[in-house]
Amino acid sequence: MTTTVYQRLQGKWQSTDDDRSVIEIKEHQYIDYYDGKRLSTAAFILDRACPSQPGAGHPGDNENYLVEPQQDMCWEVVGVDDESLELSYTARGNSLNYRKVK
């Protein structure tokens, strides 16, 4: 059986640039922590594209765009495996790199 992007994203991820920055993907919740304190929690979907882009509006567990519809935020899932995660914040084009912590 193939593991989906959604399944691989589940867990806590620590930034490789700032050890105090951690994100947690828990079911369909994106939780942001800094220095051990929860900063925000938002629902997300995985989609074929960011909102307002061609191909958007087709959510699925194996799509490569992590979208927070309420916040109008979108990241491309560049790569994810059992140990590492790379996201590209599409509004700025900057890469965010994480390592799995649990």
3-state secondary structure 36-97: CEEEEEEECEEECCCCCCCCCCCCCCCCCEEEECCCCEEEEEEEECCCEEEEEECCCCEEEE
- Measure the CA–CA gap between 54 and 10, rounded to whole angstroms: 27
Share of the chain above pLDDT 70, in %: 98
Q: Which tens digit of pLDDT belongs to each residue from 53-92?
A: 999 999 999 999 999 988 889 999 999 999 999 999 999 9
pLDDT band at 2 (very low <50, low <70, confident <90, very high): confident
The single-letter code of the amino acid at 49 is A
Q: Are 45 and 59 in contact (CB under 8 A)?
A: yes
Residue 1's pLDDT is 66
**Structural contact between residues 67 and 46, judged by C-beta atoms closer than 8 angstroms:** yes
Please tell me the predicted confidence (pLDDT) of residue 102: 67
